[in-house]
Amino acid sequence: MKKLTIGILAHVDAGKTTLSEALLYKTGAIRKLGRVDSRDTVLDSDSIERARGITILSKCARFQTENTEFTLLDTPGHVDFGTEAERVLSVLDLAVLVVSGSEGVQSHTKTLWRLLMAYKVPVLIFVNKCDMPGFNKGLVLQNLKALFSSACVDFTHVVFTEGGSHGHDDASVTAPADISEEIAVCDEEMLEAYLEGESLDFSHISHAFSARRLFPVCFGSALRLNGIDELIRVLDVLPEDPIYELPADLNAKSPDAFYARCFKIFRDENAVRLCLIKILSGSLSLRDSIGDEKVSGLRLYSGDKYKSVQRAVTGDIVAISGTDSIMSGMSFGSDGAADACASWMLEPTVSYRLILPDGSDPALLLPRLRTLEEEDPTLSIIWDELHKDILLHVMGNIHIEILKSRIKERFNVDAEFGSGRIIYKETIADTSLGFGHFEPLRHYAEVHVMLTPLERGSGIVIENKCSSDILAGHWQKQILSVLAAKHHKGVLTGSRLTDVKITLLSGKAHPKHTEGGDFRQAANRAVRQGLMKAAPVLLEPYYSYELSVPAECVGRAMTDLKMRGASMELTESTLITGLIPASTLGDYRLELASYTKGLGSLSTFPAGYDKCHNTEEVLAELNYDAQADLRNTPDSVFCSHGSSFTVSWNEAEDCMHLPV
């Protein structure tokens, strides 16, 4: 049977979890239909989820149709947990995007659509709550075509033959003439055949859907089980067998080499650490090794229940235990070689200080909080050594409330959060050379690097141009590992460095006195010294936005946006688009609702980092002293006549042992 992983995504309250329950019930996977308001759904089983009536954690369920084994991943709909939903996208074969028939396309629905397009996931749209008063099918379709794609096509009256469910060449499809034409227009080959008088071909439709050129739209009411059978039929028949993108060198090892992707870390009721993975190639058996670790458990989850298995194969979503080195977002093989963890499009833009009860030791709580960071990597928990504070990156107020509940539930600590602060980053504007020397008594290492600015969104890139004639290969590998592992800080505010290529140029070791930690010290000092000489640039997070207001409010809106440092383009008479700093967006949605009497709408999407619009003001407020940050010093340490001494960064080049 075909194996498919499908995700259910939606704006909060669109009926996503209700639809998941309906699919499980209709396919016989559950015997009793749960309801969100009754707090008895299979997937929202967490105590905090049931108390609040919202999905917070992505959950896994399984059901089977005539031809397909489905793994269903239910995701959070609230914007504060968008990162949890995004992590699921990397393992989906297709997505069901739920749109409320009464509310229409909402702001977070647009965000999800853009994410699905970025992750290249085929999308089927289910318009829910069609039984609500005021539902207008024609208007909903019109909005879907305008806001998403003209290839959104009503599949209500599209009928597949039984052969089509197996992808046979003789399969046929019937649909009303207007719908047939809409489908044909989505694919050039299909359109050419249609214009020549041929009927629609199933394989063409299936391929157009899997290639994201066609977006079927189904209608119904999940609560009343209307339209669910039709939705199941389309899910069972339409998708092609998935083909996974694998590393180029994987087949060179073996056509059936094991390869998988982890998208979630969680813990069971006994605090056992579990990695939820999608197997993209090969198979995994109990006691198999992944690097130096052995798989001690394989579980197929459906809700909170699971079945232990001896083996999982390509296409399976399976929870594995015994592999503590695997992190969320990591792709890996059985040889232990792992790709870098994925970077996410959605990420917090505000950090908060954790406030603990009097008498609590933050240093003792820190390692326990790391378990939460494993489950939610976007938390990016930071230990502020100077102030002895714990800082967390948080998505919003609801996220804060959930974190407080989690900390109380897991660690019995009544934590509070301080006021939020924008998460800045730093880069450089020109190329710079950096030199680091570390030579206290009986230690020795010297490192030379070049820092080069990169395009926005590039992150940190490590390159090696050091000759093995200058420095032995094992020392080079150690330096490159150090450079890649360090979260380098900028010199303006101490914020994380990004969009910089760090190139190892040369280095020197001592045959007797060099130890591993020496190159860590020298390499980090070299980067820091290079940053002190470079032209530093402060970056802040931006959102792209679409602001729609009544005609009489356009002037007010443009004035507001200008005051907030936003770029503006009036694309239609009442639609303004552009970029706006996250720091100035604040609670503008509330202000917008007030002056437009609820008629204005604002949708935003992360647009990455760019030059800060008020750098001097931020620098004055943060008052960071790069030279006083001794944990990230740019200075070098030399030795003479049996004693070591420190040389300031701006004089260190003249003392280096290698030519500069």
Burial classification of residue 255, based on how many CB atoms lie within 10 Å of its CB (0-12 exposed, 13-18 middle, 19 or more buried):
exposed
pLDDT tens per residue, range 370-381:
999 999 988 989
Q: Tally helices (H) and strands (E) across the chain.
A: 18, 36
Arithmetic mean of pLDDT, 464-489: 93
- H or E segment to which residue 297 belongs: strand 297-302
**Whether residue 459 sits in one domain with residue 395:** no
Residue 520: domain span = 426-537
Q: Is residue 557 part of a domain?
A: no
Q: Parallel, antiparallel, or unpaired: how do β-strands 289-290 and 293-294 relate?
A: antiparallel
Give the whole-angstrom CA distance, residue 179 versus residue 479: 61
Q: Could you tell me which of 282, 390, 304 has the C-alpha nearest to residue 45?
A: 304
Arithmetic mean of pLDDT, 26-45: 78
Structure tokens at 538: 């402060």
Q: Is residue 453 part of a domain?
A: yes
Quick check: 101 pLDDT over 60? Answer: yes
Here the CATH number for the domain that contains residue 106 is 3.40.50.300
pLDDT tens per residue, range 271-300:
899 999 999 999 999 999 998 899 999 999
**Whether residue 519 sits in one domain with residue 462:** yes
Arithmetic mean of pLDDT, 390-401: 92
Q: Is residue 441 part of a domain?
A: yes
Q: Is residue 110 part of a domain?
A: yes
**Whether residue 47 sits in one domain with residue 119:** yes
Q: Is residue 508 part of a domain?
A: yes
Here the CATH number for the domain that contains residue 318 is 2.40.30.10
pLDDT tens per residue, range 234-267:
999 999 999 898 887 776 667 788 999 999 999 9
pLDDT tens per residue, range 480-511:
999 998 889 999 999 999 999 999 999 999 99
Q: How many CA atoms lie within 13 A of 287 on its CB side?
A: 1
**Whether residue 362 sits in one domain with residue 273:** no
For the chain, the residue count is 660
**Whether residue 230 sits in one domain with residue 300:** no
CA 427 vs CA 308, 459, 479, 484, 543: distances in Å: 48, 10, 21, 16, 19
Quick check: 360 pLDDT over 70? Answer: yes
Q: Is residue 622 part of a domain?
A: no
Three-state secondary-structure class, residue 338: strand
Domain boundary among 479, 513, 537: 537
For the entire predicted model, the pTM comes to 0.86
Q: Report the share of the chain in percent with pLDDT over 90.
A: 71
Quick check: 317 pLDDT over 70? Answer: yes
Q: Do the beta carbons of residue 109 and residue 99 sit within 8 Å?
A: yes
Quick check: 77 pLDDT over 90? Answer: no
**Whether residue 360 sits in one domain with residue 386:** yes
Residue 12 main-chain phi, psi, to 5 deg: -55, 140
What are the contacts of 203-209 at 24+ separation with CB within 8 A? 203/167, 203/169, 203/171, 205/173, 205/238, 206/164, 206/167, 206/238, 206/239, 206/240, 207/240, 208/183, 209/122, 209/124, 209/238, 209/239, 209/240
**Whether residue 408 sits in one domain with residue 280:** no
Domain boundary among 183, 205, 237: 237
Residue 168: which residues within 8 A CB-CB, separation 6 or more?
none
> What pLDDT is attached to residue 578?
96
> What pLDDT is attached to residue 39?
67
> What pLDDT is attached to residue 24?
93
Q: Is residue 40 part of a domain?
A: yes
Give the whole-angstrom CA distance, residue 653 versus residue 432: 13
> What pLDDT is attached to residue 569?
93
Binned at pLDDT 50, 70 and 90, residue 385 comes out as confident
Structure tokens at 602: 């604002």
pLDDT tens per residue, range 174-231:
889 999 999 999 988 889 988 988 888 898 999 999 999 999 999 999 999 999 999 9
SS (H, E, C) 516-575: HHHHHHHHHHHHHHHHHHCCEEEEEEEEEEEEECCHHHHHHHHHHHHHCCCCCEEEECCE
**Whether residue 469 sits in one domain with residue 368:** no
Three-state secondary-structure class, residue 620: helix
| Opening angle at CA 571, ends 568 and 573, nearest 5 | 105
Arithmetic mean of pLDDT, 606-618: 95
Arithmetic mean of pLDDT, 92-97: 97
Binned at pLDDT 50, 70 and 90, residue 46 comes out as low
**Whether residue 417 sits in one domain with residue 523:** no
Quick check: 268 pLDDT over 50? Answer: yes
> What pLDDT is attached to residue 168?
45
Domain boundary among 491, 511, 537: 537
Q: Is residue 192 part of a domain?
A: no
Compute the mean pLDDT over every residue in the chain, rounded to the nearest whole number: 91
**Whether residue 226 sits in one domain with residue 83:** yes
Here the CATH number for the domain that contains residue 461 is 3.30.230.10
> What pLDDT is attached to residue 163?
55
Q: Do the beta carbons of residue 463 and residue 660 sit within 8 Å?
A: no
> What pLDDT is attached to residue 161?
74
Binned at pLDDT 50, 70 and 90, residue 367 comes out as very high
**Whether residue 457 sits in one domain with residue 415:** no
**Whether residue 412 sits in one domain with residue 438:** no
pLDDT tens per residue, range 586-601:
889 899 999 999 999 8
> What pLDDT is attached to residue 335?
72
CA 410 vs CA 369, 400, 507: distances in Å: 9, 15, 47
Arithmetic mean of pLDDT, 515-520: 91
**Count of structural domains within the chain:** 4
- H or E segment to which residue 250 belongs: helix 250-253
Binned at pLDDT 50, 70 and 90, residue 164 comes out as very low
Here the CATH number for the domain that contains residue 359 is 3.30.70.870
DSSP secondary structure letters along 356-418: PPTT--HHHHHHHHHHHHHH-GGG--EEETTTTEEEEEE--HHHHHHHHHHHHHHH----EE-
Q: Which of 76-80, 163-167, 348-352, 484-488 is least confident?
A: 163-167
